[in-house]
Amino acid sequence: MSSANQVLVLNCGSSSFKFALLNSETGTETLSGLAERLGSDDASITFKRNGNKNSLSLNDKNRHLDAIKTLVSYLETEGLSNDIAAVGHRVVHGGEKFTESVVIDSSTIKSIEDVSSLAPLHNPANLIGIEAAMVAFPGIPQVAVFDTAFHQSMPAKAYLYAIDKQLYKEKGIRRYGFHGTSHFYVSRQAAESLAKQISETSVITVHLGNGCSVCAIENGQSVDTSMGLTPMEGLVMGTRSGDLDPGITIYLMRKYGYDADKLDQLLNKQSGLLGLSGLSNDCRTLEQALESEDEQTQQSAQLALEVFSYRVAKYIASYTCALTHLDAVVFTGGIGENSDYLRSRIIAHLGVLGLSVDEARNTAARFGHSGPIHGNDSRAAIWVIPTNEELVIAQDAARLTFNHSQDNQQQGA
């Protein structure tokens, strides 16, 4: 066992993986980086350490395994490998099986495989990372942390769809929700900022990144969230549509011959801010386009951002139904942490609930600066809190393997 409390956090996608080596107690990051384009001729891995970046090409015959082996060599060369006490893996879908993080053994792997059909793009990639890491770090405990686990506390009225209930009972079709580690983390940070016990804190957390979701958290527990069976439901996202009339898909199939692949492409890759604006999925680009001299560009960007913010506001308003009281609305994620423009647009729709923004505070809370942004007359606090999913994964991995004193940090359950 290492005394350094270092946890290697891996977030593995089908052709890339992100990694970070951090101290589970202090959150200090020693190393971070990204392996990308795995499976192609220009696969590479980039290490970020002490403010320096260093990229290497990968011999990519074995994709993730080669990349992880290169990471292991780097850790050895830099004298960091002996400090690793645990490896924490982000796993997207835990189904109903996983209500909290777990130490990985062969039965866990089998269970993650069993729910893979619910997240066919993500879970198999997460498993590749887990299996490669088990080979590369023999003897070091590995922990799986699920995006869905925090939301397993939702009541049936929130997670059931109003369709034939056999589809839930036999096929597991229900709301699971995602971004659980992020909603968990910022809600705990919010309770601390409000100087309240988490068990008495009710907040609506709004994670706005490339993927976007809202979560209603009653006394520390997730009671509703906007993503569903898959991460497509709910808010307008970078390229995902979020909510739409299910009849649209039937109409496109019957009238225009769409099949599953074409619908997937449309709703996952070509919709959201990109589809609405025809310009970009990137919020920064759209905010710049608001200043464009070309009227059509300016209007397209404005309309996309208006649909985006109105949808977020509708979710915040509707989630007040899930709570007995509202202590705070919390913004996080790349957009939530940085776009004072969109935060202001969103809260402007919520005047009827008595929420207001202080524009000077709103402008100040960007680029890593957290803080309250509500006006003095606002009926609930509004906070900007940077998320830290890696830290939650590292803390859960530490708690389950070498630092059992962190029991109160547990997410899910």
The answer to whether 283 is annotated as binding is: yes
Do 233 and 243 meet the contact criterion of CB atoms below 8 Å apart? Answer: yes
**Closer residue to ligand ADP (CB): 190 or 304:** 304
List binders of ligand ADP among 318-377 (CB under 6 A).
333-335, 338-339
Neighbours of 195 (CB within 10 A): 7
**Closer residue to ligand ADP (CB): 128 or 335:** 335
Please calculate the CA angle 154-159-160 and round it to the nearest 5 degrees.
145
The answer to whether 284 is annotated as binding is: yes
The answer to whether 408 is annotated as binding is: no
**DSSP single-letter state for residue 80:** -
The answer to whether 207 is annotated as binding is: yes
Verify binding: residue 287, ligand ADP, rule CB under 6 A.
yes
Beta strands in 147-283 (DSSP E): 203-208, 212-218, 221-225
Which one of the listed residues 60, 147, 224, 327 is annotated catalytic? Answer: 147
Count of residues that bind ligand ADP according to CB under 6 A: 13
Do 7 and 20 meet the contact criterion of CB atoms below 8 Å apart? Answer: no
Neighbours of 41 (CB within 10 A): 7
**Closer residue to ligand ADP (CB): 353 or 364:** 364
Verify binding: residue 282, ligand ADP, rule CB under 6 A.
yes
Would you say how long the chain is, in residues?
413
264 is catalytic: no
The answer to whether 100 is annotated as binding is: no
Verify binding: residue 269, ligand ADP, rule CB under 6 A.
no
Verify binding: residue 386, ligand ADP, rule CB under 6 A.
no
Do 121 and 165 meet the contact criterion of CB atoms below 8 Å apart? Answer: no
Verify binding: residue 262, ligand ADP, rule CB under 6 A.
no
The answer to whether 377 is annotated as binding is: no
Q: In whole angstroms, how close is the CB of 284 to ligand ADP at the nearest point?
A: 4
Verify binding: residue 180, ligand ADP, rule CB under 6 A.
no
Q: Where are the alpha helices (DSSP H) in 61-178?
A: 64-77, 106-114, 123-136, 156-159, 165-171
List binders of ligand ADP among 219-238 (CB under 6 A).
238
Task: List the x/- string, 201-220, binding to ligand ADP by CB under 6 A.
Answer: --------xxx---------
Please, what is the angle between helix 106-114 and helix 123-136, to 10°?
160
Q: Is 101 helix (H, G, I), strand (E, B) or coil?
A: coil
Give the pair of three-digit tokens for residue 379. 């009926």
Nearest to residue 317, comparing CAs of 193, 224, 246, 410? Answer: 224
**Closer residue to ligand ADP (CB): 81 or 280:** 280
The answer to whether 82 is annotated as binding is: no
**Closer residue to ligand ADP (CB): 168 or 383:** 383
* Measured distance CA(8)–CA(221) in Å, rounded: 27
Nearest to residue 126, comparing CAs of 148, 109, 149? Answer: 109
**Closer residue to ligand ADP (CB): 241 or 338:** 338
Give the pair of three-digit tokens for residue 401. 């393997």
Could you please report the per-residue DSSP string of 128-155? Answer: HHHHHHHHHSTTS-EEEEETTGGGGG--
Verify binding: residue 242, ligand ADP, rule CB under 6 A.
no
Q: In whole angstroms, how close is the CB of 104 to ligand ADP at the nearest point?
A: 24
Binding residues for ligand ADP, rule: CB under 6 A, are 209-211, 238, 282-284, 287, 333-335, 338-339
Which sequence positions are flagged as catalytic?
A: 147
Q: Which residues are annotated as a binding site for substrate?
A: 90
Q: Which residues are annotated as a binding site?
A: 11, 18, 90, 207-211, 282-284, 334-338, 389
Q: Which residues are annotated as a binding site for Mg(2+)?
A: 11, 389
